[in-house]
Amino acid sequence: MGLTSNIVLGIAVTLAVVLFAATIWLWPRLARGGWRAIVGRIGLLLATQLTLFASVGLAANNSFLFYGSWADLFGQEQDLGVVVDHSAGSKDIKVVGTQALDVPGGGRPSVGGQIQKIVVAGEKSKIDSPAYVYLPPEYFQEKYAKSTFPASVVLTGYPGTAENLLKGLKYPKTAFLQAKAGKMRPMILVMLRPTVAPPRDTECVNVPGGPQTETFFAEDLPKAVSETYRVGTKARNWGFMGNSTGGYCALKIALHHPDRFAAGAGFSAYYKAAEDVTTGDLFHGDGAARKRADLLWSLDHAPQGASSFLVTTSKKGEGNLKGTLDFIKKVKAPARVSSITLDSGGHNFNTWNREIPPGLVWMSGRLSAG
């Protein structure tokens, strides 16, 4: 059983409850004097505390995925990363691994789809980044052999890992289940983190003299994917979604590039580029670039294309409620905006897992395959 398995967490919680009850039940017997009673009290207290600590640790790890496996936890994960050289004229995407979905029949791509680990080489930005691509079952079925599929870029927050999108936020499995239930069309997901120039948080902007992150996401990534997989090249074929920093990036790219992305969804997004120790100097005194990175300013001062936007917030627990309401008010035709407002929900995986299923359905409805 894996470290992130719910079964392991359930066993730890059960043991903690049993040991707590045993401590209450046996304490009167162990209250008497003698070394055996003392050892018994110490043993029960230590065992109870240990299982409680393990339960809390496992729950936290399942939510935030600090460690992906037992080997990772105990420092035994020693496999080195794969270096992929990208010479001039080489393909912009290289597949370096595959994995199946945790669904019935998931071992067969035509039944459960497939997740491919890739490395993307940005033609214009010169940025190379690892990513995961989820291909739905239909992609491998004879009936759809000549069909194209809509696709959406999916970003984590900063400084999250792309694995969070697979395990903690369960994008591929959610897309699989929603499509199987007939709530959305099969869609390809291109999943990665916004930190494509680690460890710097570039806020998906083109930094003067630095990483050209906006060019990578807006131009290089969709071009490379369309040339490798059966995805169209028109705006109606592409969406962009993410949480936190990834949500800001999704809205920003869709807002500024309506000719490339038909829709952008920001889960718990903010609306102005952060500037702090993690970002460094993003604009180098360029006031116009700083204003452009403020989405509320852009909605007021730049032409709005025919993009669709989805923004999410909560009445209690999120700090973006006012900004989200302002964003909604400022979106004008031909653009469209939709929203999800929870009664309560913090800036965390539990909140986003409540928003992602309807968000994927919404995205599917804004994109087309052809």
Which of 323, 340, 225 minimizes the C-alpha distance to 272? 323
What pLDDT does 236 receive?
96
What pLDDT does 72 receive?
55
* 312 three-state secondary structure: strand
Please enumerate in sequence order all residues whose Cβ is within 8 A of that of 109, keeping only pairs 6 or more positions apart, or say none.
100, 135, 137, 139, 140
What is the reported pTM? 0.78
Phi, psi of 31 (to 5 degrees): -75, -20
What pLDDT does 311 receive?
95
Give the chain's length: 370
What are the 10-residue block averages of pLDDT along the chain, 370 residues in total? 73 86 78 75 83 82 60 53 42 85 90 94 92 96 93 93 90 96 96 90 93 95 94 95 96 96 96 91 92 96 93 91 94 94 89 94 92
What pLDDT does 86 receive?
41
Element spanning 226, H or E: helix 221-228
Reply yes or no: is the peptide bond before residue 198 cis, omega within 30 of 0: no
What pLDDT does 93 receive?
83
Q: Answer whether 353's CB lies under 8 Å from 64's CB.
A: no
What pLDDT does 70 receive?
64
In angstroms, the CA 339 to CA 256 distance is 20
What pLDDT does 325 receive?
94
DSSP 69-124: SHHHHTT---PPPPP----TT--SEEEEEEE--SSTTTTSHHHH-EEEEEEEE-TT
What pLDDT does 74 receive?
62
Which of 188, 196, 147, 149 minimizes the C-alpha distance to 171? 188
What pLDDT does 82 receive?
46
What pLDDT does 80 receive?
41
